[in-house]
Structure 1
Amino acid sequence: MSAPTGSAGPNGPADHATDPESLRALAVEALLRARERTTALTDCVDDGELTAQHSPLMSPLVWDLAHIGNQEELWLLRAVAGRDAMRPEIDSVYDAFEHPRAERPSLPLLSPGEARGYAADVRGRALDVLERSPLRGTPLLDAAFAFGMVAQHEQQHDETMLITHQLRRGPVALTAPPPPRPTSATTADLAPEVMVPGGPFTMGTSTEPWALDNERPAHHRFVPAFFIDTVPVSNGAYLRFMEDGGYTDERWWAAEGWAQIRKHGLGAPLFWRREGGQWLRRHFGVVEPVPEDEPVLHVSWYEADAYARWAGRRLPTEAEWEKAARHDPASGRSLRYPWGDCDPTPERANLGQRHLRPAPVGAYAAGQSPLGVRQLIGDVWEWTASDFSPYPGFAAFPYREYSEVFFGSAHKVLRGGSFAVDAVACRGTFRNWDLPVRRQIFAGFRTARDAPDVRDVPTGAVVS
């Protein structure tokens, strides 16, 4: 079965979309787009595959399907519309904090048919609520926030289900066309790194209507000048690290990372294997030679950090990453996206499961930042050096468990989204986080380095 087309679509209300009818149309489109993708991800395999647990790291696909419906019911039918619970007995079954993923197959889960029926019933009622809502008057209704939050939640679980599809063994279930390749005309002058000038910039947002609590509030950060890779680190570059003994040299590794690779015998990214003198990878059921020009994928934070040290560089901080992605030195303003304030399009970013792989490094020239940094949005999530922490003035909304309970040194921040992320859940301010050992997620990285005192270098200068 083909993957959904994944049109990037609106990423929440723009400044002009403040009247109720425009907000309603945006919310309907976001919800329907998410459900189209959920359906594609669950209809492409049989009931046995839906109820199986393909990895202890992930839930059965049928759990995600019913959880999507349960969360939609909780927020749109109960919290927004004040209706009674449709099936109160399943709330605890689909509470993500009550049951770890490894335990979920043993729960009294809805069958695939029941899960589909429940999610469809909730959706019909939720669209009725949306049609009748004034979309103003409470924090959940203002700018259709609750509906945008639910659309983002579903798309995030769609990404989780796509990870499960990558982990599952068996016949190919999803296909999609390849992403566009860069041309020599668009890469001829592409330098390996770009200098981002030092100084203050506005980080986070207080105006993006569908931004989640950890993206708020907007605040000023001073970031010293630094250099950042123009493109993500490629498989070919990562292979050179491997061939130079990167996985056997303790010098490059944080202590916890070194312990992990020794304990598990790791010597390559997840899904790679050496066969007949060639590196192969398993990608959505297809075994193929590792494409050297694509961004490296399925590496942990520890692997990214070790590569950066081997290369004489480091991972960018979260603030550096966001400044590289949003700062416009000409105006001094922070943009919504690297290319400006308009929503993502297929020419600017690889999002929405439109393709089932990252584009080769150097692609999407139309999506580069004012300083010339490419592929900051889409393709691969990018590990940063930063722990997941609240911004100054953070306030949990609408519940603590979305962000607040994860703050601290246990989780590292990822930025930028991947080919598996829909535009509704990806912004220049969007923050993702995960444990530094995680490898099944669609994560890669780029590197950075400190800049010397470069006050004589013109702002935005590209340095080879």
Structure 2
Amino acid sequence: METAIEQYTDKLTLAERYLKVRKHTEHICAPLQTEDYVVQPTVDVSPPKWHIGHTTWFFETFILKPYATDYQEFNTEYNFVFNSYYETVGNRVIRTDRGNLSRPIVIDIMRYRKYVDDAMNKFLCEEPSDEIKELLVLGFNHEEQHQELLYTDIKYILGHNPLFPAYSHDYHSPKVKAIDAPFISMDEGIYEIGFEGEGFCFDNELNRHKVYLNTYEISPNLVTNEEYLEFIKAGGYNDFRHWHAEGWDWVKTNKIQSPLYWHLIHGEWYNYTFNGLEPVEMKQPVCHISYFEAYAFAAWKGMRLPTEFEWEAAASQFKWGKSWEWTESSYLPYPGFAKAPGAIGEYNGKFMVNQKVLRGASEVTSPGHARVTYRNFFQTHLRWQFTGIRLAR
């Protein structure tokens, strides 16, 4: 078994891995214009320039400032600007105000990023301690999380521009081909859930434990746009019987009638993609829907969503990774879960309330970042992430 450190260094040095992760973030942002970096159309979306600054702040705050000899902080105000939610580290700009940060300007944030990268490259010329190596690996995974968020936030920003501009015509969304197969039958019994081994995982994937599952069946395919359109045409958004009370209130209050990015134009459904506005691809998995919608669709079909434990127990028998998949599980700690001391302990545990677990990965998950035990989590009304449906019964 490889350790978390070896997982990132058996072919690359830590310095090379650091550079590779940082370059991928810049690759994601390469198609953007300066004006694209500063927009925050909704509270859940952060301006791309904030992601650039925050991921840089992470390495400065948790590696360079405490461990690099004679390191000089780039700008003392940046701790306030780019701290996300770490109460231990100090005050911060609240999330809703990130779009009001016209200063620091984009070029200054890029200078900050280069300054920290230069310092990190110098720091990594010497072999760090195991404690620092573990922080570095966490930093790599943290930036990979923000790479996915960059994609989702950029899509929301451009997808809410009235001109529906393309992010990049060089972006190619992977296509999924459904398989003609029956639901997968799973026997009742005891299953082991959670991460095992010595590679990297987040703390919320621990500890590995046993769960008892009743007999169930799970679909080998994700729900397609075509199947979801049947729900729309059948009046699914106008029939309270399929919805949780909170979901029904959400539908009525926000006048929801279709997935995020869908537009009915001259009687035809179009979908905003990274390539711009395109006709909905009926055979591809439906995406960008809330938990409320996933639950309602499943209820309309006379089925349900799988729990996260059912999903993990069966995941080796179906393909996943195109869309994050809503589960029926609330985001809660596993038995024996313990938060790390200090600011790092604020990473996952503090969010274990009022959220649902998403399993799998998406087309914009960074390479090598997905695993079967990964526990993503979002609030029930959110749709800007690449979220889809797998049915169970």
TM over 0.5: yes
Q: CA deviation at 1:107?
A: 3.7
Matches of 1:15 and 1:287 in 2, distance apart? Answer: 44
Matched, 1:150 2:139: yes
**For structure 2, which runs of at least 5 residues remain unmatched after alignment?**
86-91
Q: Secondary structure at the match of 2:292?
A: helix
Contact 2:74 2:112 in 1 (8 A): no
Q: 218-227 or 30-39: which moved more?
A: 30-39
Give 1:384's aligned residue.
327
Matches of 1:265 and 1:17 in 2, distance apart? Answer: 46
Contact 2:262 2:271 in 1 (8 A): yes
Contact 2:4 2:199 in 1 (8 A): no
Give 1:177's aligned residue.
172
Match of 2:246 among 236, 239, 256: 256
Contact 1:194 1:227 in 2 (8 A): yes
Q: TM-score normalised to the size of structure 1? A: 0.76
Matched, 1:15 2:10: no
Contact 2:175 2:284 in 1 (8 A): no
Residue-pair matches, total: 378
Give 2:34's aligned residue.
47
Specify which structure has the bigger relative contact order, considering alpha-carbon pairs within 8 angstroms and separated by 6 or more residues. Answer: 1
Matches of 2:257 and 2:230 in 1, distance apart? Answer: 13
Report % sequence identity.
31
Q: CA deviation at 1:146?
A: 1.6
CA displacement, residues 168-210 of structure 1 (integer Å, 9 cap, x when unaligned): 225323232342564xxx94xx314101222222211243432
Matched, 1:223 2:228: no
Matches of 2:269 and 2:263 in 1, distance apart? Answer: 6
Match of 1:422 among 366, 377, 385: 366
Alignment of 1:175-324 (within 5 A): 175-180=170-175, 182=177, 187=179, 190-284=180-274, 286-324=276-314
Q: Which amino acid aligns with 1:415?
A: R
Q: CA deviation at 1:315?
A: 0.7
Q: CA deviation at 1:123?
A: 2.0
- Cα distance 1:86–1:385, how it changes in 2: closer, same or farther (>3 A)? same
Q: CA deviation at 1:23?
A: 5.0
Q: TM-score normalised to the size of structure 2? A: 0.89
Q: Secondary structure at the match of 1:237?
A: helix
Matches of 1:17 and 1:264 in 2, distance apart? Answer: 44
Q: CA deviation at 1:29?
A: 4.8
Contact 1:241 1:310 in 2 (8 A): yes
Matched, 1:123 2:117: yes
Matches of 2:125 and 2:202 in 1, distance apart? Answer: 23
Give 2:88's aligned residue.
none
Matches of 1:148 and 1:21 in 2, distance apart? Answer: 7
Q: CA RMSD for the aligned pairs?
A: 2.4
Q: Secondary structure at the match of 2:326?
A: strand
Give 2:98's aligned residue.
104
Q: CA deviation at 1:75?
A: 1.8
- Cα distance 1:19–1:281, how it changes in 2: closer, same or farther (>3 A)? closer
- Cα distance 1:38–1:252, how it changes in 2: closer, same or farther (>3 A)? same
Give 2:107's aligned residue.
113
Q: CA deviation at 1:225?
A: 2.0
